[in-house]
Structure 1
């Protein structure tokens, strides 16, 4: 964890049920850890059973309350059923972080209709239906926060994965629509748009000395963004400290845009 973590506690998060999709590794793992350390009951979903179980067991051994479910988020009925099961066990989800995604590289010409549909399912569709599943009980509990994870890639107009960029742009539109629809029920909906975050996957596949040097030229802040930096912003948006922030897109990219 980063040094600015220390003992920064958001009292409103203590005891609240939070759900994170794609929580077994990368940014998602940092979100699960940060929410647990703030005193949340944390449910998380992922397709990586080994990493998911390892994270759950490690955090539970430390005294936190964390539950992992193995889910393919493209299976919407399974997603909704599992969400309802988690609500039955731990109560209304007050913080939903729609984080799961796959930024697999592809070109315009090579993508088929079936691959495009899968890209939308993996990167956008589950955001909508997770929100649909949690909204009624979140409203009954007094409201809460939905945080949709997007990417600054669509704002930069990056090439190399046009389907992914399309989905990430759609997330910002979804946030705007849901914020208006759910606001009267005291449900806040915001988008977080990270820049290039140095997860293990990113470092393994794409970080080269040349790419890092170019990134440092583009960013106003000359440090690499860590998963914990994104988690810090999500904690704020999940807490009551952000009670009057909704429908917004918050970029965390070191001033690259």
Structure 2
């Protein structure tokens, strides 16, 4: 369920979301649109993203701007940021959400597979920030929310490149917060627990596995993509005006 709270400062804000066409990202796109923000999102999934744009327009009266790009291509990423700024003005809220949690065995990962994993799960976070910071400096403020994961905190062993990237996002968050705080730019992270997206249900939610995980949570129900919207809106809004360099764990109370 989408959060009921309204953050007045997000109305009219120029928001950019990476991986905003599917899964958690799709609900973030909808959530910011419901706040009255001007939302642009980057995604590689063209058909799903265009469908989402129509759905969000029907729900909110505001159609998000879909920018089709592969985040591994930094030139394409920079071009997408420029297109968002041209359409909506300097980005005031950046949500680095895109990720691929493909499973892989440590014993068989090749150099190319390792590099490709980090090129999806860590490198774009930095270069998207690099691209939006000049505009944020121009307007004197900005909020950056980087999505990491609790997976590396739980010693999950079947995706080492992914967990390395997700740990790196926290280091990146803290370093960039220290760098840009003087410019009025806040940088925080969200670490979701196991959010049961359609992808998770199809690939890894084996019978009994979700139930066993939910039993470990202090709040004993499945987490869904909508559950990430409220925390992200909070970190993007002036309700968290003096909060930076922090990681908010949203996992139902496992950690």
> Under a length normalisation based on structure 1, what TM-score does the superposition of the two structures give?
0.96
The residue aligned with 1:190 is 188
Tell me if 1:52 matches 2:67: no
Report the more deviating stretch, 215-224 or 166-175.
215-224
Q: Which residue of 2 aligns with 1:156?
A: 154
2:16 equivalent to 1:15: no
1:91 aligns with 2:89: yes
Name the counterpart of 1:212. 210
The answer to which of 230-239 and 202-211 deviates more is 202-211
Q: 1:37, 1:61 → 2: CA distance?
A: 11
Change (3 A) 1:61 1:219: closer
- 5+ residue gaps, structure 1: none
The residue aligned with 2:22 is 25
- Does the Cα contact within 8 Å between 2:42 and 2:80 map onto a contact in 1? no
**SS at 2:122's partner residue?**
helix
Task: Select which of 206, 211, 220 maps to 1:222.
Answer: 220
CA distance in 2, matches of 1:159, 1:94: 37
CA distance in 2 between partners of 1:217 and 1:227 (Å): 19
Give yes or no for contact 2:196–2:224 (8 Å, CA) kept in 1: yes
**Alignment pair present for 1:39 and 2:36:** yes
Moved more, 228-237 or 206-215: 206-215
- In structure 1, the partner of 2:143 is 145
* Structure 1 segment 97-116 matched on structure 2, within 5 A: 97-116=95-114
Aligned equivalents of 1:234, 1:216: Cα separation in 2: 22
**What root-mean-square deviation, in Å, do the aligned CA atoms of Structure 1 and Structure 2 show?**
1.0
Gapped regions of structure 2 (runs ≥ 5): none
Distance in 2, Cα, partners of 1:79 & 1:213:
38
| Partners of 2:89 and 2:63 in 1: CA distance | 13
CA distance, structure 1, for counterparts of residue 171 and residue 223 of structure 2 = 25
Counterpart Cα distance in 1 of 2:145 and 2:211: 31
1:203 & 1:85 partners in 2: Cα distance?
A: 34
SS in structure 2 at match of 1:146: strand
Aligned pairs, how many?
254
Displacement after TM superposition at 1:206 (Å): 1.6
Q: 1: distance between equivalents of 2:175 and 2:36? A: 30
Task: Say if 1:40 and 1:65, in contact at 8 Å, map to a contact too.
Answer: no
CA deviation after TM superposition for structure 1 residue 161, in Å: 0.4
| Runs (4+) off by over 3 Å | none
> Shift of residue 60 of structure 1?
2.5
Match of 2:201 in 1: 203
**Bigger shift: 209-218 or 105-114?**
209-218
The structural deviation recorded for 1:217 is 2.8
1:221 is displaced (CA, Å) by 1.3
